[in-house]
Structure 1
Amino acid sequence: MVPKLRVARPTDNLPELLRFYRDGLGLVELASFTAHNGFDGVMLGHPQAPYHLEFTHQPGHHVGRAPTSDHLLVFYLPNLPDWQAATQRMEAAGFKPVPAYNPYWDQHGTTFEDPDGYRVVLQHAAWKL
């Protein structure tokens, strides 16, 4: 059995993050909630993937930006047409590539910064351990 992974993060920019991760990155909105115990939120991912991202916002509470430019989510896209489509979708949604903090990611990938300052790398490579 493969465990499921949820990456949960608070934000001050829920609508902007939705645009970045859904419209730009192409994740699917799996669920959302409003005023649930004082929080609004959305879960994004792919229905058959063993992971999803959850972003929450608590009205009246400020969480701020990413602590560094090296906080990353890395998506490995070994198929060239898939990688090209993903980077083009991000740019078409209005998100421009940024230089990676660690130059390793610029060798075979493209980095984008979300509205909270966290980075997403679209890596044109297979995931190898």
Structure 2
Amino acid sequence: MDAVKLRVARPTRDLDAVVRFYRNGLGFEVLGGFEDHAGFDGVMLGHAGAPYHLEFTMEHGHEAPRAPSEDHLLVFYVPDPEAWAERVRCMEAAGFAPVRSRNPYWDANGRTFEDPDGYRVVLQQAAWSR
């Protein structure tokens, strides 16, 4: 039986900028994409073999809204302290500065970064324990 896989899909205001954030900062790979499919352009980003990926779309003639709040998060748990520090360094080297998290819980053991649409990504230096 195939394992369950997760695709998180959402619109973006700027496809190129959001690709730079997730590819250059977080090290995601472009897994696929499409142009003018029923009025939409899109790209899928992820890591080969991972059970998840992100899809970002732009609808021709429509501007997507920004994130509804500062607490819309994708959280990546990185248990190894050196690997976590390297991911944070990569984000900063790509030009993305950490932002203060709306919920201070995430600042205790992580760093939060805001993508071009106002959605936030937390690099949490902890193991996923559930």
Q: Verify same fold: TM over 0.5.
A: yes
Shift of 1:29: 0.5
Aligned to 2:54: 53
- The normalised TM-score by structure 1 is 0.97
Shift of 1:13: 1.1
Aligned to 1:68: 69
What is the DSSP-based 3-state SS (H/G/I as helix, E as strand, rest coil) of the residue aligned with 1:98? coil
Deviations 1:5-38 (A, max 9, x none): 0000001111100000011111111001111111
Deviations 1:35-85 (A, max 9, x none): 111111000001110000000001210111000000000000001111011
> Which stretches in structure 2 are left out of the alignment for 5+ residues?
none
Superposition map of 1:7-46 within 5 A: 7-46=8-47
Whole-angstrom CA distance in 2 between matches of 1:126 and 1:54: 25
Aligned to 1:79: 80
Aligned to 2:96: 95
What is the DSSP-based 3-state SS (H/G/I as helix, E as strand, rest coil) of the residue aligned with 2:23? helix
Runs of 4+ with >3 A deviation: none
Shift of 1:2: 2.5
Q: Which amino acid aligns with 1:110?
A: R
> Which stretches in structure 1 are left out of the alignment for 5+ residues?
none
- The normalised TM-score by structure 2 is 0.97
